[in-house]
Amino acid sequence: MGYGITLRVSGDYALYTRPEMKAERVSYDVMTPSAARGILEAILWKPAIKWVVDKITVLNQIEFESIRRNELGSKVPPRNVAKAMAGAAIDLHQYTTPDRQQRASLILKNVDYLIDAHFVMVPQKAGESDTQEKFYNMFLRRARGGQCFHNPYLGCREFAAKFKLVEHGEERPESYYAEEAKIDLGWMLWDIKYGEEVLKRKSVYTYEPKFFRACMRHGIIEVPDEVSL
């Protein structure tokens, strides 16, 4: 296991969309491991390291709120983009007025989490001067100073996240569910595994969603590693 960190993230609203909901968005009860990894990568991302989320602590009571938002009903087809890149005269504009749709979303409010994670080195992409200590200190410096490559968010970009590093030896806040022995949250998205295959002498990028059975014990969700899924 690499160097471990604890990060506290919070926000007014969050939306971790369940993939089984098609037309309108419904959030998971808590933050997903992939969303937690996205926040860590927003603070520090390097090809030489890979973030691994160990556990997520739910500090506040789980509360939902229903809202309505304007969304576009379609997107620019990839084939049109490919034709435009090849030099064809293709209109890539999206006209929001005729394509606007109102959709309801069931989102979380007043969220507050602790993310416990560590990173491992990627030997194929690490340079001679890349060490675990180097990236660990780099993350500490950036997290303490509030620095990030892009503003981290809670599931959707419009729901910005506030973050604060929990220093070693600092007292951890107690979860609202500290007295609850076990709460079954059902199947949850763990992450998406990306790969590459060669089909008919062409490289094709693939992706495979991974799920796990999320159980919250005393407010803490232990995130399994990829091997145990």
In tens, the pLDDT along 152-177 reads 999 999 999 999 999 988 999 999 99
pLDDT of 2 strictly over 60: no
Q: Tell me, what's the pLDDT at 80?
A: 87
Tens of pLDDT, residue by residue over 56-89, are: 999 999 999 999 988 887 888 888 888 888 888 8
Distance separating alpha carbons of residues 186 and 178, to the nearest angstrom: 19
pLDDT score of 201 more than 80: no
- Calpha distance 152→142 (Å, rounded): 13
Q: What is the largest CA-CA distance in the chain?
A: 63
CA dihedral 156, 67, 107, 191 (to 10 degrees): -40
Would you state the structure tokens that stand for residue 152, as one six-digit string?
Answer: 């981290």
* Element housing 85 (H / E): helix 78-85
Q: What is the pLDDT of residues 3-41, one digit of tens each?
A: 799 999 999 999 999 998 877 899 999 999 999 999 999
Please give the C-alpha separations between residue 143 and each of 96, 113, 154, in angstroms, as whole numbers.
Answer: 38, 16, 17
In angstroms, what CA-CA distances link 151 with 91, 166, 191?
Answer: 31, 19, 21
Both tokens of residue 130?
């890349």
Q: Domain 4-70+103-182+215-224 class?
A: alpha beta
The confidence band for 200, taking pLDDT boundaries of 50, 70 and 90, is low
- pLDDT above 90 (res 118): yes
Structure tokens at 220: 């803490």
pTM of the model: 0.85
Domain boundaries, the chain: 4-70+103-182+215-224
**Residue pLDDT, tens place only, 100-115:** 888 899 999 999 999 9
Q: How far apart are CA 161 and CA 147, in angstroms?
A: 13
Residue 227 has pLDDT above 70, yes or no: no
Beta strand 25-26 with 100-121 is: parallel
